[in-house]
Chain A
Amino acid sequence: MKESILTTGGRHVSEVRDINRSLAEKALNMRCQAYLSQVKANLLTATIYGINNSKKSLQRELDQKTRLERELKVANATKDRLLSILAHDLRSPFTNLIGIAEGLSKNLQPPNLESLGEHIGMVHSVALSGVELVDNLLTWIWGLSGQIKPQPVRFEANKLVQELFMLFESHAKNKSISLKCEMPAGSEIQADRHMTQTILRNLISNGIKYTANGEVLVKLEERNREWVFWVIDTGVGIAPEVLDRLFKNQLVESATGTAKEYGTGLGLFLAKELCESQSGKIWVTSKPGQGSQFAFSLPKVY
């Protein structure tokens, strides 16, 4: 084309005009194609953008669905566990009490003071665990309805622990367990007292349950931003596979205690929920045969 323009010297003018026309039209055509390509590119960009966006929102919906399914599964397992607690565990303290009462009425004559004392100890321990269970159930059901809201107050941690020790004193004595408390006298903390009491009660009760002959120690440790309570026992310890699912957000059945105390698994489950509702954490280290060290933290400000 370049050549034909340059060598037009001898040619007819109309030929040059034709070449010019076709050049002009080619240029315009390219201009037109460029514009249309740009329109297409814009459409393509918009389409890709649209696809990406709908992909993202689809993924979001999918994630949410998976999460809901997981939560539903946990809720279902929790509900099943609750039903089994209601059906079996809530009944057994009463069955036990009936059994003890029957034994007592047969042994009343001739009076045997030693056996009477033993029976009264049993009644106390059964009643204690029955009340504990009912307390836990009530706290938990109360929490299910979304009403757990911590109400922090200042209180003496030492006093709280001593109150709990009084509750467990005779049961511990029967199992030859000494209850010890190591914390600075008059150490005040700020937390929800009832919640802290429930957590500690469950941990102490567990310590006693899984210990025969030994001690259960409650310690308070003050850190920069939090208080950490320790409940350390010298009991049977926990197998690694059980340890793994202990705080996995669902109710797991628990083993029977060293004196055949029954457990529902509700205690630790509740302890974890109460900790977390105060922005705290709960954890445990344990080896079979070497006791367990339960701990939970309560932030000073939350």
Chain B
Amino acid sequence: MRVKALDYENPIAVLRDIYWVGFYDQEADLHCNPYLIIDDEEVLLFDPGSIPHFSVVMRKVIDVINPEEITHVVLSHQDPDVCGNIAVVEDLIGRDDLKLVNHSSLTRLVQHYGVKSPFYEVDKNGGKLELKSGRVLEFLHTPFLHSPFGIVTYDHESKSLFSSDIFGGLSDHWSLFASEDAAFESMSRWHQLIIPSNRVLKDFLQKLERFDIQRILPQHGSILEGSFVPRAIEHLRNLPCGIDLTGGTLP
């Protein structure tokens, strides 16, 4: 469908109401993917990124909406590339009623970034967030994938999974949407680097079975759509990671 070459200097619409506002970390040779969900009255920003890339991410956000319209910032986990700039973003948004959405076990860590906004702790709210439009976001705690305090978000309306570091990829031939089998190779490299074992992956994938997933939007690597979704799940199910590769001992 996408005939025109994508300009990654611009925000890119994944769907009518979901935007990619990511950046390329040249030094780490890593693509980071913050996303926006623009709902009727509310706007959610997923994993706003790092301090050095604050201006790139926010410029792309501003291209789509006024930052003051952002009502929620979802923090999948505590890594500096995921939310190192959260205090600055919070300052730019400048809303008193802004909420930080995360697992309660993450709150303590995120506070070290110097944030002021109240937390919406998903596990204390039935693992769900219902927007004013009735749109339901569901959260799954994903311990040890790779952060003990991480979550992924499933958007019931668009059937999209915002998967944090899971389903991420590491490659020099990056494209925002996975279109070649090489995407699985780059997924292997990434997961074998950061996931402690296949066992934790498998448990997680099992929990995903009850969801109808149309697309996966990871923090790193490429967005998976269509047939790439079941293939990626199958790929990870059989992927030895971390401690599996060292015969059960630490490297």
A, B in one complex: yes
A residues at B contact (CB < 8 Å): 18, 21, 24-26, 28-29, 31-32, 35-36, 39
B51 touches which of A21, A24, A25, A32 (Cβ 8 Å) = A32
Q: Verify B88–A29 contact, CB threshold 8 A.
A: no
Q: Which listed residue (B55, B56, B59, B88) contacts A36, Cβ 8 A?
A: B88
B: number of interface residues (CB 8 Å) = 14
Q: Are B56 and A25 in contact (CB under 8 A)?
A: yes
Contact for B55 among A18, A26, A39, CB less than 8 A: A26
Is A24 a contact partner of B88 (Cβ separation < 8 A)? no
A29 and B62 within 8 A (CB): no
Q: Contact: B55 with A28, CB < 8 Å?
A: yes
- Of all chain A residues, the one with the shortest Cβ separation from B56 is A25
B91 near A28: Cβ-Cβ < 8 Å: no
Judge whether B80 is part of the interface by a CB distance below 8 angstroms.
no
How far is A173 from B221 in the complex, measured between Cα atoms in Å?
Answer: 118
CB-nearest residue of chain B relative to A39? B114
Q: Which of B9, B59, B87 has the most CB of A within 10 A?
A: B59
B74 contacts the other chain (CB 8 A): no
Q: Which of A18, A26, A28, A29 has most B Cβ within 10 Å?
A: A28
B177 contacts the other chain (Cβ, under 8 Å)?
no
Determine if B193 is an interface residue (Cβ-Cβ < 8 Å): no
Is the CB–CB distance between B9 and A21 below 8 Å?
Answer: yes
A-side contacts of B114, CB under 8 Å: 39
Ordered by A's residue number, 8 sampled pairs between the chains whose C-beta atoms are within 8 Å are A24-B55, A25-B56, A28-B59, A31-B92, A32-B51, A32-B55, A35-B88, A35-B91
With A36-B88, A39-B87 as given contacts, are A28 and B9 in contact (CB-CB < 8 Å)? no
B54 interfacial contact with A, CB 8 Å: yes
B70 close to chain A: CB less than 8 A? no
Q: CA A24 – CA B62 in complex, angstroms? A: 9
Bound CA–CA A21/B88 (angstroms): 20
Which residues of chain B from 208 to 247 have a CB within 8 Å of any chain A CB?
A: none
* Selected contact of A29 from candidates B9, B55, B91, CB within 8 Å: B55
Does B36 sit at the interface, judged by CB under 8 A?
no
Chain B residues lying within 8 Å of A39, measured Cβ to Cβ, are 87, 114
A32 and B59 in contact, given A21-B9, A39-B114 (Cβ under 8 angstroms): no
On chain A, the residues within 8 Å of B88 by CB distance are: 31-32, 35-36
| CA–CA, A32 and B48, complex, Å | 14
Shortest C-beta distance, B37 to chain A (Å), equals 21
Q: In the assembled complex, which residues on chain B have CB atoms less than 8 Å from the CB atom of A36?
A: 51, 88
Q: Which residue of A lies closest to B90 (CB)?
A: A35
Closest to A43 in B: B114
Tell me, yes or no, whether B44 is within 8 Å of chain A by CB: no
Could you tell me the distance between the alpha carbons of A24 and B85 in the complex, rounded to whole angstroms? 18
The reply to whether B59 and A21 contact each other, CB–CB distance below 8 Å, is yes
- Which residue of chain A has the shortest Cβ distance to B85 in the bound complex? A32
B58 at the interface (CB under 8 A from A): yes
- Tell me the bound Cα distance from A18 to B10 in angstroms: 10
Give A25's nearest chain B residue, CB to CB: B55
Interface string of B86-112 (1 = CB under 8 A from A): 011001100000000000000000000
